[in-house]
Amino acid sequence: GDKLFTEEWICAVSVLHLHRNPSVFENPESFNPDRFLPENCSKIPSYSFIPFSFGSRMCIGYRLAMIEMKIFLATILRNSTVESVAKDIKNNISVSLYPRRSFQLRMKSEI
């Protein structure tokens, strides 16, 4: 029915339930990082996944988490050798140089 929201009301979003919404995420209880690949992200409605919230009250740990992920990735790459699986990679030349199509990388650990 019709409800009148007043300033006394408190509105809260359960991020736990938002991130496990079966109408948005297939098998929401299973660990599936592939659901966030670029080709799958377009299927996820805006603000359906907000691990750090958003706006002026966004989690203050967001930047720290991003820095930690970059350090983690840099540590892995520093101790590994990365090479292209493809023999010949064609590039597009624009303001920046980028490959014409995606390609696979092979990573070997040095540890």
Domain boundaries, the chain: 1-50, 60-110
Nearest 5 degrees, angle CA 37-CA 40-CA 42?
115
19: nearest Cα among 10, 8, 31, 4: 31
Buried b (16+ CB within 10 A) or exposed e, 67-100: eeeeeeeeeeeeeeeeeeeeeeeeeeeeeeeeee
pLDDT at 65 over 90: yes
- Does pLDDT of 60 surpass 70? yes
| Residue 59 is labelled as binding a ligand | yes
pLDDT at 27 over 80: yes
